[in-house]
Amino acid sequence: MVVAPDDDAAIAELIAQGDDAGAFGRLRARLGWPRGRELLDSELPRYLTLLGELATRRGADTLGELALAARADLDSPDRLYDLGYALIDAGAPAIAASILWRCLRLVGDSEEVVCELVSALESALAYGDALAVLEDHAPLRARSFLCRYLYAFNAAMAGRLDLTRAALPALAPESPDNDAMQETIALIVERADRVAGAATLDARDLRGWHYVLTGGLVMHQSPYGFDEPMHGRYAWLADSLDRIATGLARVVPLARALAVPCVYAPPGRGHAIVAAAAAAQLGVPVAPWPAVGVPAPGLVVAYDLADIATADVQRLVQRREGQLLFAHASPWTIDCPIAPDVTTLLYQSLVAPWGQSLVVDPETREVNESPADERAIDVIAADIVASKGLDGSELSADEPARWEALAAQVWPMPAGPRSRLWAGGPVASNRFE
């Protein structure tokens, strides 16, 4: 978005009109990272005032008060830090990064401020900028295990595995609390070694990087904007039964290789539909989701990874012998506690084939909402089984030879902890705000 010099007046007008979304979009474009860090002292108070007004309108009174407090004293590190911290919690990391950048300029080599700024940049998917911040603070890294870990992690997320490898020896855990961080980096390096020759790990290798960073496999790449700007990820997706059928056609052979005795579905209608279709194709039963314990051995099937309840996710953190976790769809703009072993696709916004959706009337061009598909689970599952899958145009970006080479290199996956599903990565994709 091109921002005019008097954009603060336009933002104020949008707030007055009650267009909070429009006002926030313009405010983020002006105050958010990286543009916001260049604001002059004479400009920043106006935007902090607008931020405070908008926050208060939305019922975030504390955030509004913090914005106005920072405006009153732009040279107070404490006020800037408190505002930046609150903005991260409020889901505005790009604005938080600009505020925390200013705070860091005031305090110098502060571990607390550096780590919070890095957190904001990570949430904004600005991993390269987070890496640059940490590179500028070598003395801090030398004395802080957390900063050494963040340096190694953000180097990997920015596509700089050379830096990650070089940083690993300095991550000898100083306490039991550090073990998980050290293991995260060690596993990233180990997975990169495992796919040598099968993955290019360049700026276009979505599948290779997804595996290295999360330990999971992506089976289908979106053809929409594949060369530029999406590179295999979906932005907004109205999903289809054909797309689900394509995913199942690829995961079923992997499940057969493990000789899974049954299929499990976490609680939820979408999960149950896809699980029923998977069980029919495998010729095994759908087992009841256990009230306690772990669903293994077997194929655990989810429609959307983000729709698995937190309590059920915790039971899947460890990959058990004979267990395969498949999620048809996984989000790519937010972190998730675990990455599925195999996922069909990556999306930012998703509408299930059986959910309500917006449709355009071909004659009137009016946009209407279509009703949800309320048919029985087994009926929709049967339609998936009967589908021939996506047509050639939808599969044009799938690069089957590269998929097969990668899968052959890493399958079957060993038992052990599943990684988090990290948002973003070295392969860039456009996302809408």
Q: What tens digit of pLDDT does each residue of 129-143 get?
A: 999 999 999 999 999
Residue that is written with structure tokens 């309108």 in the block: 57
Q: What tens digit of pLDDT does each residue of 165-208 get?
A: 999 999 998 888 899 999 999 999 999 999 999 999 999 999 99
Spatial distance between the Cα atoms of 145 and 137, rounded to a whole number of angstroms: 13
Q: At how many degrees (to 10) do helices 20-31 and 7-17 cross?
A: 160
Token digits for 160?
């700089």
Spatial distance between the Cα atoms of 13 and 420, rounded to a whole number of angstroms: 42
Average pLDDT of the segment spanning 304-314? 97
Average pLDDT of the segment spanning 100-107? 96
Spatial distance between the Cα atoms of 234 and 225, rounded to a whole number of angstroms: 9
Phi, psi (deg, nearest 5) at residue 295: -75, 85
Q: How many helices (DSSP H) and strands (DSSP E) are in the chain? A: 18, 12
Task: Let me know if 344 is exposed, middle or buried by CB neighbors in 10 A (0-12, 13-18, 19+).
Answer: buried
Confidence of residue 1 (pLDDT cuts 50, 70, 90): very low
Per mean pLDDT, which range of 52-56, 170-174, 225-229 is the poorest? Answer: 170-174
Token digits for 299?
């194929």
Nearest 10 degrees: Cα torsion 31, 33, 34, 40: 30
* Confidence (pLDDT) at 64: 97
Domain ranges of the chain: 7-162, 194-417
Shortest CA distance to 109 belongs to which of 99, 97, 117?
A: 117
* Confidence (pLDDT) at 133: 98
Mean pLDDT of the chain, nearest integer: 95
Shortest CA distance to 260 belongs to which of 288, 279, 233, 241?
A: 279
Q: Are 167 and 185 in contact (CB under 8 A)?
A: yes
* Confidence (pLDDT) at 176: 87
Average pLDDT of the segment spanning 286-300? 96
* Confidence (pLDDT) at 3: 45
Q: Tell me the C-alpha to C-alpha distance, in Å, between residue 124 and each of 33, 333, 334, 368, 394.
A: 8, 9, 10, 33, 30
Task: Let me know if 128 is exposed, middle or buried by CB neighbors in 10 A (0-12, 13-18, 19+).
Answer: middle
Q: What tens digit of pLDDT does each residue of 244-289 get?
A: 999 999 999 999 999 999 999 999 999 999 999 999 999 999 999 9
Token digits for 146?
């957390």
Task: List, in order, residues 6 or more apart from 103 with CB less than 8 Å away.
Answer: 77, 80, 81, 84, 113, 117
Spatial distance between the Cα atoms of 210 and 213, rounded to a whole number of angstroms: 5
Is it true that 7-162 and 194-417 share their CATH fold? no
Give me the CATH topology for the region 7-162: 1.25.40
* Confidence (pLDDT) at 361: 63
Phi, psi (deg, nearest 5) at residue 325: -100, 115
Confidence of residue 4 (pLDDT cuts 50, 70, 90): very low
Task: List, in order, residues 6 or more apart from 398 with CB less than 8 Å away.
Answer: 220, 221
What is the CATH code for 194-417? 3.40.50.2020
Task: Let me know if 374 is exposed, middle or buried by CB neighbors in 10 A (0-12, 13-18, 19+).
Answer: exposed
3-class secondary structure, 368: strand
pLDDT value at 324 more than 90: yes
Shortest CA distance to 218 belongs to which of 237, 231, 227, 202?
A: 231
Token digits for 265?
């579905």
* Confidence (pLDDT) at 12: 92
Sign of the four-CA dihedral 223, 224, 228, 229: negative
Residue that is written with structure tokens 């998929």 in the block: 403
Strand ranges of the sheet holding 298-304, from the earlier edge strand across to the other edge: 217-218, 342-347, 323-331, 298-304, 263-264, 286-287
Q: What tens digit of pLDDT does each residue of 355-402 get?
A: 987 666 667 667 678 899 999 999 999 999 999 999 999 999 999 999
Average pLDDT of the segment spanning 306-332? 97
Q: Are 264 and 287 in contact (CB under 8 A)?
A: yes
Spatial distance between the Cα atoms of 173 and 182, rounded to a whole number of angstroms: 7
